[in-house]
Structure 1
Amino acid sequence: QITALDSDTNVHVYAASKWKTIELTSQMNVSTKTPYSNGIKFTWQQSYERGNQYCLAISAWRPFTSLCQARAADNYISGSTEATNHRRPAVVLMGCTDHHSYTLPERPHVIVHVAVWTRQGGPPLARAVVRPFKKPRVPRLQPGQLLTLEPSSGGRALARLRLRRGAKRLFVVAVACGANLKLQILSSDGSRVASVAGGQGALHLKLRQNQPSALKMVMTTNPPGAARTLLLAASTSAKGLPLPRLPRNTVVSTIKASCNNVTLQWKSASGNPNYCIMLQEDFNPGGHHIRALAQCDWEDVLQHPVGYLISQCNPGAMKARRQRYLVGHLLPAHAYIATILVQHPITRHVLALKPTYFKTKEDCSL
């Protein structure tokens, strides 16, 4: 407090700081590439002085204006009357380190402010604001809709399904593009309703008892990462599915093979679909074909059948337990691959049966 006298009084005030002046507070580098799956790494510029320690403060909702305020909040005794004042920034983390970086193992669920000072105090070396990381939204599957999902690095994909009350039947089709698949249906409380697994890349599931109104679909590929796209569809009626229904036995057999023709035979699929015959020459006869079926992109192949000798779709025989097709004009002593596609009569989506490999006879005189 300065009191002026009768005459004019000139007052000169000098202020000095104990730390080196920094022109501007730099932005902190925030990176999510850490050894932790959900971690965040903060990196800031090194101080001018060697061997100096850095004090880091992470606060929720509002930032700290100084290191003194951060230390006071860190030493603040919780449970006092002032703790109910929401205008005070809440301390998430406070500490000092010799390194010019720090890794937070978990991503925050609320907005946090990060600031770093030298141990002597002064203006902050760097600041950063980290927005809350929201959990990925689980997509919702509408009955009768074809949902395209992208699996995680572990090969998992989730979807939610809400049914009307009193639904006594549920038809589900799950497809993995180039991988084996496992499908689990869980209720809202996490209990398992049904589970099915198979190696044909397409799973069909039919539930007849009363189902909960809220369901969660869990799809898992084997091996993880083998499929980049998953398809999922569900409906309370079989006719409402946008994907065709495959027969239980997806094996295609060859009968009456000769030097220039062969007859293909397979089990009929329900729903009176169309059947597409895809024939190509096998340039690796006798090889082991163990890979999972490629159940996707067949619609594009039908429009542009490059490399296929035969590519045609025909309605199947009505009310027949087995379908047969005669393939002619083949070359003697040649190996071929025949793939039968089941095509939905309305949506034109297709799924493949297990391909068959055969070789024509050499002698046509027999």
Structure 2
Amino acid sequence: KIERATYESIAFRYIAGNVHPDHATLAGFRKNYLKEFEVIFVQVLQVAKEMKLLKLGNVSLDGTKIKANASKHKALSYGHINKIEAQLREEVATLLKRAEQTDNQPADGMDLPAELERREARLQQLADAKARIEERARIRDAEEQAEYERKCAKREALRKEGKKPKGKDPEPPTAGPRDKDQVNLTDEESRIMKASSGGFVQGYNAQAAVDIDTMLIVSAKVTQDCNDKKQIEPMLSEIKDLPEDLGEVTGLLADTGYFSEKNVNHCEDLGVTPMIAMKRDHHNMPLTERFGEDAPCPEATDSLTQMAWRLKTKAGRALYSLRKNTVEPVFGIVKNVMGFRQFSMRGLNEANGEWNLVAIAWNLKRMNTL
């Protein structure tokens, strides 16, 4: 598209100096300089600051699933790999037996050495795929065990205080790969993810933090996690690493997918006021709640209680309502107007760089509108 634009668009011809770089050259340039585009992303925000378009304050955070440059039909589950392995080993044994009987001579038009070689190569591919799944399982096991121990320690602390923990004791995690664990043979770093529109996609979870006053993206990151619960810490870290002259984030708006006590406390520790939905609210709020007086501020000072109270106040509801009017339209325009629905490069680092380029393009278009 860019190559064609250097012929058809006066603006592109001017920027390109009346030169028409080949599309392969442009693709190579993009791939080779993804890291440098991260610097340009920050520079664009600094330009917006100089133009008095950006003043960090409250940001809204959300994620959207973007299709990877890979088919979900090229994904193999651990259980299916085991079945295919058993089938291939049985076929290899049958072929070896036939080879002994025919003294390696072709039988029924079959090239026995070639058939054996093909199956051995396939078995090696499956072994590599299993190894990747098992490595992911080891990482997951460590995380689940740490979370299990944290929950047990918390419940034990309550018992020592003479309090009874709520609910049942947590079940210890089951170690090892599961039959439904998958790996994609085309882009092994992509994941099968449930799409909000229904069904599943082979893709990545693209995160964006958007300034609610200007709808400029102030942080963009791609993750392999299917849900958003683990994304507040890395996204706030990205924002905190921005130059000081851009200002500081004072509040964070996020939907219920980001809610956890750990995330709320992390926001408070960084001096960011969390406005994270704790549950899905019903539509058509009763008149008594909509127009009634705000409840008094609770005496409890813990972060969860304070945030729950803020979300129920008129000011809190008005602020939180801006979330769906800021970050969600950004995703809608990026996908439906700018036409970005799939990554063209493969791998997590490459997807991150490509999403960063999309964020730069969005910010430039938005600055032109502002």
* TM superposition score normalised by structure 2: 0.25
Q: Please identify the structure whose Cα radius of gyration is greater.
A: 1
For CA contacts below 8 A with separation 6 or more, give which structure has more relative contact order.
2
More strand as a share of residues: 1
